[in-house]
Amino acid sequence: MTASVALKDKEVAVDEEGYLVNLADWNEDVARTMAADDGIALTDNHWEVINFLREYYAEYQVAPAIRVLTKAIGKKLGPEKGNSKYLYELFPYGPAKQACRYAGLPKPTGCI
Amino acid sequence: MSGTQAGEGGNSKVKRFMIVNRKAPYGTIYALEALEVVLIGAAFDQDVSLVFADDGVYQLKKGQQTKDIGQKNFSPTYRALGDYDVEKLYVERESLQARGLAPEDLLVPVRVLGSTELSVLMEEQDVVLSF
Amino acid sequence: MAVLHTTNKSPLQTRDLESCLRLTRPGCGILLLEDAVYGALKSAEGSDMLAEAAKDRRIYVLGPDLAARGFTPEELIAGVTVVDYGGFVDLVAEHHHVQAWV
């Protein structure tokens, strides 16, 4: 099954759950477009999490599970952001799953 | 030995899983599959430990560069295991020595144990998965 | 022209390399690829068998497979030549035929 996200100038391929097929296709427009398709306008707070995930993936080659993400965000950005309430408000479809999708990462291992 | 073991939080559903890695990375898919199982087990709050024996110790070798073989270098993920609360990494001393490797050659801190100590640990597990 | 033998399994897990060495003759080429590259490391147990063979046979290691596993050419036993994919193709072309010990 093939699907894609339509950007201004091109289409990028995504899998049946909406994750990028080629991680190299990612740019900020991809994230904005995916979010807009979900009815979300990305704010600085969203970007903070998205950029964190991209850095985490570059370092460890793995998309962190929700528990790991929450803990790691808390360590880096403080406890007021490292909790599931804050993250669920930003990413109501599930912080790890949804934010990883916008960040161009694979679906986190262990998420169902 | 009972089938289940009480976890730290008193959750009786926490089981002790041991993943035994005996294959080198990249030549076969076993090492990568084992790592996936570890991440899944940890995401479900299970008590997961890893053993590296035989050629499995090569999974932890520092300096892996896979660009030219067209495969993902998954070795950095072992360094993320601490974030998943997977902190029990055991390496069999005999396997390490047979390959002329020392703990400094490995990309994560591990506990080096002899085969006898490892076999005792294996007996204490609820589930042992071998890759 | 001589035969090029290839083997791709770690000699610490299987005996393919041993069989390959037993059934090769002086003058032939032996290319270690994938997990077989571990067999050419100075540090690994049993590499003396290969060092002995290197006296009258040409031993090659596929460089990209060595790098993927975190080792450098300096860690190989003496007398081993590292080749890239182009070198692999040249070896195949230079030899009479290729025998794979899988």
Count the domains in chain A.
1
pLDDT tens digits in sequence order for chain C, 102 residues long: 699 999 999 999 999 999 999 999 898 999 999 999 999 999 988 899 999 999 999 999 999 999 999 999 999 999 999 999 999 999 999 999 999 998
Establish if A78 belongs to a structural domain: yes
Domain ranges of chain B: 16-130
A89: domain CATH number is 1.10.10.370
CB contact under 8 Å between A110 and B74, yes or no, is no
* Residues of chain B falling short of pLDDT 50: 1-9
Class of the CATH domain delimited by C4-101? alpha beta
Phi, psi torsion values for A83, nearest 5 degrees: -140, 155
Establish if A53 belongs to a structural domain: yes
Give the model's pLDDT for residue A112: 53
Residues of B in contact with A108 (CB under 8 A): 43
CB–CB of A28/A12 below 8 Å? Answer: no
A72, HSE (Cβ side, Cα atoms, 13 Å) = 26
First to last CA, chain C: 22
CB contact under 8 Å between C70 and B64, yes or no, is yes
- Give the whole-angstrom CA distance, residue C34 versus residue C66: 8
CB contact under 8 Å between A109 and B36, yes or no, is yes
Question: β-pairing, A3-6 with A11-14?
Answer: antiparallel
Please enumerate, as own/partner, the contacts of A100-103 that have beta carbons within 8 Å and a separation of 24 or more. A100/A19, A100/A53, A100/A63, A101/A17, A101/A18, A101/A19, A101/A20, A101/A34, A102/A30, A102/A31, A102/A34, A102/A35, A102/A42, A102/A46, A102/A50, A103/A26, A103/A31, A103/A50, A103/A51, A103/A53, A103/A54, A103/A57
- Give the whole-angstrom CA distance, residue B2 versus residue A100: 39
Establish if A18 belongs to a structural domain: yes
Domain ranges of chain C: 4-101
Where does B16-130 sit in CATH, by number? 3.40.1260.10
Give the model's pLDDT for residue C34: 97
Give the model's pLDDT for residue B13: 82
Task: Please name the amino acid found at residue B113.
Answer: L
CB–CB of C61/C83 below 8 Å? Answer: yes
Instruction: Tell me how far the alpha carbon of residue B64 is from its chain's centroid.
Output: 17
Complex confidence, ipTM = 0.91
State the residue range of the domain holding A59: 3-102
Give the model's pLDDT for residue C83: 98
Establish if A56 belongs to a structural domain: yes
Which residues of A have a CB under 8 Å from any CB of B? 56, 59-62, 64-68, 71-72, 108-111
Measure CB to CB from residue B43 to each of A56, A59, A65 and give the nearest one.
A65
Phi, psi torsion values for B90, nearest 5 degrees: -115, 135
Helices (H), C8-98: 16-22, 47-53, 63-68, 85-94
* Residues of chain A falling short of pLDDT 70: 1-2, 110-112
User: Is the CA virtual torsion A23, A34, A83, B13 positive or negative?
Assistant: negative
